[in-house]
A and B are shown apart, each in its own frame.
Chain A
């Protein structure tokens, strides 16, 4: 049960200052546009927070590229919109934190090979919902999601979109409950990313073979027996090695119910 409200609240309140700058190639105005600063929630997605920024920069670009899809990069690395913002920051800036986070805005030369197209917010919602479903299948064999109604799904999504903690957790609470007598999820929805952004996802049980709770230390020795000093970062912090996996999944999952963890 995700009942450590203090941790949940701290995670939820995490925000990042971001500075958007228009790429020079797209600039069509004599006047240099001002950079656009904004605070965005770490748990949100870029398409949900960039409307105002886009309006600001539309004035400075040419008419024909105004209809093109906008995309972002950090240090020449295109940012995938379907990952949470906070995770992207941890992935690219985790070692060398520099705030505010300076991103470049592009309107042309969409990197078709790297990014998915995102024409509107419905696509984001669909992707989010499918990820939640995948996590639920791993945790409860999909039973919780399938018993929810459409309005519950909507509430989950709107809570995230509008940054409403109570509205979101009223529904997400049910996803974090563990069923059955053996107390705990069947598997932990966990994705571990290396520095290059390569993702690895494995079936990981929250318990050891003898039935005791599995902690991070045990997980690491299981996954990376050759690297004794590896550390894990999520939500901008390093996870203590004696944290139980079950608790981690319940409290420190992103809104899509996955634990996105960076290796460092």
Chain B
């Protein structure tokens, strides 16, 4: 332990310092803080007590009647107060009663009015019911009337229908009789015509056999007619004769000569298709028979020339296709020996093929 004046001085100073700063204030501050805490707790307590007090007072006002434990003075006072309040209540009740009685009178008057109006309404209702009953009876009456009328109407309609049927039958009968009449008239006319013809015949016979002049005036028309018919007959006979001379071949005019030079052919229109086949894709532009064989050459828009064998009846056989044309073939032809074929096409060229080996021989633009 070191020691010296300086240490004693320090210790003394520290002690005086602590005495001055600490111990003199320690108690006061502690006491103050305790007081402080006390105040705050008391404040809290006070608040709680006030709350409690408030609550108790509130419950007291509610239970003041039931408690009744206070002094008699208080009780009397309370009772007096109560009586006072009840008297007030009574007066107010009286007032209210007066008001209500007034109201009752008013209401009674109203009830009277209402009853009156009710009676009036009853009267009108009974009147209206009577009216309704009479109207209903009327309706009944009209309804029966209507039914009767309907029945009558029905009867009339039936009658009308029956009459119409009768009318139709009569009309039919009329038409039949008219037809009969017409046919009878026709027959009558026919018989009349026959009679007339017979009369004419008789007249003619009479004219031919007897003197014509005797009946000249009567039968003039008929005579002239007879002359004319004779003339016609003569002309016809002449014509027939001429025709025969012509067919014998001894005419003199130029026309007759031309007609004579032409041999007669029995011409007939083909009526049945013997063979039918599709030769080309597209149009067929040209067809030619071979001069030697039973061979047919066709040229089509598909730039081909085709050879067909049609020797077998009802059967066609493609003998070959000649290619080389650059456009549709418009025309074909064989040479005289049937060994070459020439084709003309739309590409401004003509080409020659041999039939035997079907090769292109010449191509000429």
Contact = CB atoms under 8 A, between A and B. Distances in A.
Interface in B1-19: 1-2, 4-7, 9-11, 13-15, 17-18
Contacts of B1: 3-4
B22 interface: yes
A94 to B, nearest CB: 11
Interface stretch (A31-39, A116-124, A134-142, A221-229): A31-39
B30 interface: yes
Interface string A204-231: 0000000000000000000000000000
Given A14-B21, A14-B22, A247 B14 contact: no
A9 to B, nearest CB: 9
B36 interface: yes
A242 B36 contact: no
A242 B10 contact: no
A214 to B, nearest CB: 13
A145 B18 CA distance: 32
Given A15-B22, A34-B36, A239 B29 contact: no
Contact of B14 (A10, A17, A34, A37): A10
Given A37-B33, A235-B17, A247-B2, A17 B11 contact: no
Contacts of A240: 5-6, 9-10
Contact of A237 (B17, B28, B33): B17
Interface in A229-264: 235-244, 247, 252
A14 B18 CA distance: 6
Given A10-B18, A237-B14, A17 B29 contact: yes
A197 interface: no
B21 A16 contact: yes
A4 B18 CA distance: 18
Contacts, number: 79
A244 B4 CA distance: 11
A234 to B, nearest CB: 10
Interface string B149-187: 000000000000000000000000000000000000000
Contacts of A16: 21-22
A236 B17 contact: yes
A99 B25 contact: yes
B17 A4 contact: no
* Residue among A39, A235, A243 with the highest chain B CB neighbour number at 10 A: A39
A252 B14 CA distance: 11
B32 interface: yes
Contact of A15 (B9, B10, B26, B32): B26
B22 A243 contact: no
A260 to B, nearest CB: 16
Interface in A1-26: 3-4, 6-7, 10-11, 13-17
A29 to B, nearest CB: 14
Contact of B29 (A10, A38, A97): A38
A241 B5 CA distance: 10
Contact of B11 (A6, A13, A14, A15): A6
Contacts of A37: 28-29, 32-33, 36
A35 to B, nearest CB: 10
* Residue among B4, B7, B26, B28 with the highest chain A CB neighbour number at 10 A: B7
B15 A10 contact: yes
A97 B9 CA distance: 20
Contacts of A236: 13-14, 17, 21
Interface of B: 1-2, 4-7, 9-11, 13-15, 17-18, 20-22, 24-26, 28-30, 32-33, 36
Interface of A: 3-4, 6-7, 10-11, 13-17, 34, 36-39, 97, 99-100, 235-244, 247, 252
Given A4-B7, A38-B29, A100-B25, 4 more contacts: A10-B11, A13-B18, A15-B22, A97-B20
24 contacts: A4-B2, A6-B11, A10-B11, A10-B18, A13-B18, A14-B14, A14-B21, A14-B22, A15-B21, A15-B22, A15-B26, A17-B21, A17-B25, A37-B32, A99-B24, A235-B14, A237-B14, A240-B5, A240-B10, A241-B6, A242-B6, A243-B7, A243-B10, A244-B2
